[in-house]
Amino acid sequence: MKVTLVGLGCGTAATLTAEGMAVLQEADCILGAARLLKELPEERFPSVRIAAVKPEDILEELLSRRPECPCVVFSGDTGFYSGARLLLPLLEERGAGCRILPGISSVQLLAARLGRPWQDWRLYSAHGLPCDAVTAVMQGGPAFFLTGGALGPAELCRQWAEAGLGGLAVVVGENLSCEEECISKGTAAEFVNRTFAPLSVVLAESAPEPEPHRTPGLKDERFLRGQVPMTKQEVRAAVLAKLGVCPEDTVWDVGAGTGGVSVELARAAYRGRVFAVECQLDACELIRQNRKRFGAWNLRLIPGTAPETLNGLPAPDAVFIGGTHGKLESIIEAVLRANRKARVCISAIALETLAAAVAALTAHGLTAEVTQLSVSRARTAGKLHLLTANNPVFLISGQAEGETAL
């Protein structure tokens, strides 16, 4: 038995290739989703039709019926987030011969409708898969999304709007190649409350580019700070070194203040996410402004107090704790409940906070490492230069027993 996997393009005969059409007309059995089978007129494709979607069900039908020239149809291109990738290994295990005929993808069709090349687009699927739309548009170049289920165009636009990207240029293509085809152009903010067809794709232009990535430790004066205390440049650089942030990491900044550390974390985890937890309203506004100032769109503000606001956040790979309002013990408990292996760094100025941090980490079975930073900066006094000391800062790092130190 030799099985042919055929991509139907955007689901209509108009986007089916001539090669695919010829094979389907010769087939004695066609399997696939009921929606796709309806697009193949019986007078042109008179073979037996079997509605099946799951790879296991398709395989079972093929093995029980043993057709001589079976075809399995998929929407779009068989190589672009297609169910073909799941069926192929099952057929190969059974020794069935396979042939693949790709179809016209929705990427190609939307690009053609817009009169644009698509070789520089980044391609993502939000159809039944988790998708961080904010991180996607931060990677440079337009981003194309298949949508479906809970992540439709409006929900993707909501992610962008909440990240401060409400003005992001967006194109939504609905029911491509069908009579109901509709292409809408607008901004993320304009599409948040619109209803779109289930068969929709989205093209988002690249987010405003942040400054080039560099080593941590942005100058203090570059941040907006108002009357909110801010972690100084040298300490921010040391915090990132202690946490060892990787590009794909999910990071929490608890007690984010002006968002200075949050911004640095977001720049380091540029393919990940940073959640800045802050309870002071004036500080929350500063975080929003500094996020925009540095293009840290993957920084999400979580207004409220910890540990309550930590419940439900994605599990962190690394956590910085800069302010606790006396709830350090319960915050660490919440962190370790989310991820026992999370890398933790706590800042302290008061000796009492230092002692509490060491005790809390130790009580939860973590090895505490204490570093003291004493930073002095020169100022002019006439013809002389004198050093002015900042308050010493303690950084208390915690890691689970048996974990490799960064």
Helix H or strand E segment including 7: strand 2-7
Of 352, 392, 350, 343, nearest to 371 by C-alpha is 392
pLDDT (tens digit per residue) in 178-234 = 889 999 999 999 999 999 999 999 999 998 877 666 778 999 999 999 888 899 999
Together in a domain, 241 and 335: yes
The pLDDT of residue 7 is: 94
pLDDT (tens digit per residue) in 36-64 = 898 888 888 888 999 999 999 999 999 99
Task: Tell whether 250 is covered by a domain.
Answer: yes
Rounded distance between C-alpha atoms, residue 202 and residue 205, angstroms: 10
Together in a domain, 179 and 313: no
End-to-end Cα separation, the chain, in angstroms: 54
Task: Tell whether 340 is covered by a domain.
Answer: yes
Strand locations in 149-204 (E):
169-174, 182-187, 200-204
Q: Is the pLDDT of residue 405 over 50?
A: no
DSSP states along 238-286 = HHHHHHT--TT-EEEEES-TTSHHHHHHHHHTTTSEEEEEE--HHHHHH
The mean pLDDT value for 20-38 works out to: 93
pLDDT (tens digit per residue) in 138-173 = 988 999 999 988 899 999 999 999 999 999 999 999
Rounded distance between C-alpha atoms, residue 6 and residue 103, angstroms: 7
Mark which of 76, 104, 132 sits at the end of a domain: 104
pLDDT (tens digit per residue) in 222-270 = 999 988 889 999 999 999 999 999 999 999 999 999 999 999 999 999 9
**Residue 401 — pLDDT band, cuts 50, 70, 90?**
low
Number of domains in the chain: 3
Together in a domain, 284 and 374: yes
Together in a domain, 133 and 100: no
Structure-block tokens of residue 6: 């055929």
Together in a domain, 127 and 79: no
* pTM attached to this predicted model: 0.81
Task: Tell whether 215 is covered by a domain.
Answer: no
Mark which of 141, 170, 204 sits at the end of a domain: 204
160 three-state secondary structure: helix
CB 126 within 8 A of CB 133: yes
Q: Is the pLDDT of residue 108 over 50?
A: yes
Structure-block tokens of residue 286: 């500063």
Together in a domain, 65 and 147: no
CATH number at residue 14: 3.40.1010.10
Together in a domain, 248 and 363: yes
CATH number at residue 272: 3.40.50.150
Close Cβ partners of 395 (under 8 Å, ≥ 6 residues apart): 235, 238, 239, 242, 345, 346, 347, 348, 370, 371, 372, 373
Residue 29 lies in domain: 2-104
